[in-house]
Structure 1
Amino acid sequence: MRIRSVGLRTWIAIVAVILVAVSMAWVVVDGWGAVRAHRWEADPWLLVAGALVIGLSYVVGAAGYVAIVEGVVDRGTPRLRLGWIWMLSLLGRYVPGSVVMVAGRVELSRDHGIPRRATAAAMVYEQALSISVASVAGAAFVTLVDGVGPAWLPWLLVPVPLVLFALMHPRVMRGLANRLLVRLHRAPLEVVLPVRRVLVLAGWFVVIQATVGLGAWLVVRGMGGPEVGSVLYVGGAYLAAYALASLAVVVPSGLGIRDGVLALAFAQHVPGSVAVALSVTVRLAFTLVELAMVGGLALVVRRR
């Protein structure tokens, strides 16, 4: 039985790798075609700075996730390997449904002593915190900027953090999680995050999202020039797009929704064709930095 189980896991891993590779190849090829179709007067220094800041956003994002995991397990954790697993699993977002991302992170973490239920709980906290912060920023952006979306759009985003923070309350989280685990014949959660730790982590996720927004602005500014908008404008647009795309988990990494919202925001300052190309450029920049980070971390982890 054990041999058969290992064989099945190997085949599942192979299929997952193929799906991720094909999906990411499509993203890169499709994005590169759209970017090349436009004549740019790029600022290489701003683009390099953007790539570095985007890389930093992944570092602080990994640190945030590791901090969550350490809060829901009662033992020490291999921090560097967990950070690499977090980065590697992000590639699964490009496969529709995010199943590969979730399953990959759960199984890889299990191989390093983190129970499946703890990883699942950590992912719920991570997504809830990330989407909550992005929704607040996105609602403010859509409210303050005219012409970006329909009047009801802020009302779609405002309730999101309220619902998610209610979900993260210890009593609610423990009750819902353990009820589900009992039905699945699994052991209950060992620990849930107290309110104070959730609030501290929320502050950290503000830093994460601010870094993401800054990285996006540097890339857009480096490609499109000063007329694309301020760092608050571009950063707010990116977070609004991220929040809306996160509500559509079936779409691979929310690509169409995120690109569409970004293009609509950029079109307030630049022609429509340029706005579309810029939105694709941002997506491509994050994808390429993601791949570089995964490769770099893999080398570091192997040496240790």
Structure 2
Amino acid sequence: MLTLRYVLLAVVLGFAAYYLISQWNEVSQAIKLIAPASIIVSFFFVALGLGFGTVSWIAILNGLGHRIPILRSAQILLVGQLGKYVPGSVWSYVMQMELGRQYGVARPRILITALYAAGVGVVASLILGSLALPVLIDDYPQLLWLFALLPVGLICLHPKVMTWLASLTLKLFRRPPLDHEVSFSVVLRSLGAALASYICYGIHLFVLVNSLVDPDIGTLILLTGAMSIGFTVGLVAFLLPSGLGAREAVLIGAMGMLLTIPQAAAMSVVSRMMFTLADILAAGAAVLAVIIMRKRLASEGSVNVEALPEDSELPANVANDYQRTDGE
């Protein structure tokens, strides 16, 4: 199984690197239109948004069972989500489950976390996406049906409903149901972090546009809504690598109200590249942090989770030891 994990990781990194390299010529031309300071600030908000997204995911993970240290949780998500660059985004879930298993977290729990985090993300994106309704009504009326998912999503985020659905999923995997109800604080913390993530992404796009024109606060609101709804559209287009092309169509429509279509297309390409680069750098940083932590654990003594029974959870006392060694 360990060999399979390394093979999966190599394949995922290969696809991500290929995408990065294949788009470079187009990106390098677009970057010439943007001031260097705008590139730095814009990328900072992409990284910050990715951080908030990670907090949202970890909140769900820890709300479903014993607490997993931040560094380990972040590695499961940040490395695992590189699987979205492989056509058919199911690979992201496969990677996350395999990485979770490496730390003794049952695969069903990781799958439930990934699905619920995606649901939280959809609810957050639709809430903020309503800010982009003027663009959707004029240019993409066929996407308005997405907002029908909002009331369904809000119902599913109710702690009792979330707990019931999670336990049902665990039952399908022949695992014991949750031993406690997911709390309102977990749901609110995850949703709040997801909203903050999309707001950061909206600011990222606003900074890029600001390098070409002088937009106002209304433009920031519009671009935040467009970026948010673009993520849900990209999620629906799951057969494409990371929703490739679907998100850009919405962003070009929004930016086209201020920029020429070629300029808007150039900004969307730069935005996509920043997200790819941030994903790769964040995954690398998470891996490096865990490697450093493992060396410290090795000197103090640790549990070999590879020897644990299939899909078993780390004992609570072991998880607590990991938390202490992580400085939490």
TM class, shorter-length: 0.7 to 0.9
- 1:45-124 equivalent positions in 2, closer than 5 A: 45-73=37-65, 75-124=66-115
Using the alignment, how far apart are the partners of 2:9 and 2:209 within structure 1? Answer: 31
Deviation at 1:37, TM superposition (A): 4.2
Note if 1:153 corresponds to 2:106: no
Deviation at 1:258, TM superposition (A): 0.8
Q: Deviations over 1:16-41 (max 9, x none)?
A: 23432332234223432222345833
2:245 alignment partner, SS class: helix
**Cα pair 1:139 1:157 within 8 Å, conserved:** no
Choose from 120, 131, 135 the match for 1:140: 131
Over the matched positions of the two proteins, sequence identity in percent amounts to 25
**Cα pair 2:131 2:222 within 8 Å, conserved:** no
Choose from 246, 252, 264 the match for 1:257: 246
Choose from 157, 166, 187 the match for 1:168: 157
Unaligned runs of 5+ in 2: 294-328
Structure 1 length-normalised TM: 0.85
**Cα pair 2:159 2:187 within 8 Å, conserved:** no
Using the alignment, how far apart are the partners of 2:173 and 2:110 within structure 1? Answer: 16
Unaligned runs of 5+ in 1: 1-5
**Cα pair 1:138 1:243 within 8 Å, conserved:** no
Using the alignment, how far apart are the partners of 2:5 and 2:147 within structure 1? Answer: 38
Partner residue, 1:21:
13
Deviation at 1:190, TM superposition (A): 3.5
Partner residue, 1:221:
210
Q: Is the alpha carbon distance of 1:178 and 1:67 closer, same or farther for their aligned partners in structure 2, counting shifts above 3 Å? A: closer
**Cα pair 1:117 1:189 within 8 Å, conserved:** no
Q: Deviations over 1:206-240 (max 9, x none)?
A: 21221222223223434x44369832232222112
Q: Is the alpha carbon distance of 1:196 and 1:292 closer, same or farther for their aligned partners in structure 2, counting shifts above 3 Å? A: closer
Choose from 263, 269, 275 the match for 1:274: 263
Using the alignment, how far apart are the partners of 2:241 and 2:228 within structure 1? Answer: 17
Aligned length: 292
**Cα pair 2:49 2:201 within 8 Å, conserved:** yes
Deviation at 1:146, TM superposition (A): 6.2
Deviation at 1:85, TM superposition (A): 2.0
Residue 168 of structure 2 aligns with an amino acid whose one-letter code is R
**Cα pair 1:142 1:153 within 8 Å, conserved:** no
Using the alignment, how far apart are the partners of 2:136 and 2:161 within structure 1? Answer: 36
Residue 43 of structure 2 aligns with an amino acid whose one-letter code is A
Deviation at 1:287, TM superposition (A): 0.8
**Cα pair 2:81 2:95 within 8 Å, conserved:** no
Note if 1:230 corresponds to 2:219: yes
Using the alignment, how far apart are the partners of 1:41 and 1:256 within structure 2? Answer: 21
Partner residue, 2:301:
none
Q: Which sits farther off after the overlay, 207-216 or 124-133?
A: 207-216
Deviation at 1:299, TM superposition (A): 2.2
Using the alignment, how far apart are the partners of 2:12 and 2:50 within structure 1? Answer: 19
Q: Is the alpha carbon distance of 1:294 and 1:201 closer, same or farther for their aligned partners in structure 2, counting shifts above 3 Å? A: closer
